[in-house]
Amino acid sequence: MDLDPDGRYLLFPAASFRPEKRHDRAREVARLAGAELLTGGAIEPERMPDWVNAVSAVLVPSENEGFGLAAVEALACDVPVLSTPVGVAPALLGGIEGCLAEPFDAQRWAQLARDHLDAPDTRVAGRRRAAWFSAELMAERVLVAYRAVLGS
């Protein structure tokens, strides 16, 4: 699928058949916001960065997340993320204007999505926050934890 440079896109970064990811909620937000919903399960992995950067926001309306890597990756691209407060979302998105980590409310999410869709520049200041969860820093934290355990 080719993306229209003037398209109004939101991204649901998971496979639609996974019920805990709540594709139904993302569809509702896209409908209310007047946007086309792109779904991650149908995207080849090498195309995902292009799709993340083509959308006005990433939607993570999940009932649960183990971590939430898709939100970190989107924020690393300065793409706004609307998420339920699952996984890493509260720490990742808290205080970043244009992002949210709160219980699902279709009307509120759709209004924020519309704001992004209508803005001339949809980017948010997220890259520095996403760096908190970089592989290098996470590995360093694990090493510190192992040293603390082995030292005691």
| Residue 17 falls inside a structural domain | yes
What is the CB neighbour count within 10 angstroms for residue 35? 23
**In this structure, are residues 78 and 129 in contact, taking their beta carbons and an 8 Å threshold?**
no
pLDDT at 4: 87
- Give me the pLDDT at residue 88, please: 93
13 pLDDT band, cuts 50/70/90, is very high
Q: Is residue 134 part of a domain?
A: yes
Which pLDDT tens digit goes with each residue over 33-51?
A: 999 999 998 788 888 888 9
Residue 3 lies in a domain: no
| Span 97-127, pLDDT tens digits | 999 999 999 999 999 999 999 999 989 988 8
CATH code of 26's domain? 3.40.50.2000
CA 108 – CA 18 distance, rounded (Å): 24
84 secondary structure, DSSP code: -
Which domain, by its residues, includes 105? Answer: 9-151
Beta strands in the chain (DSSP E): 9-12, 36-39, 57-60, 81-83, 100-101
**Is the residue at 80 inside a domain?**
yes
pTM above 0.85, yes or no: yes
In a domain, 68, yes or no: yes
Is 4 inside any structural domain?
A: no
Count up the domains in the chain and report the number. Answer: 1
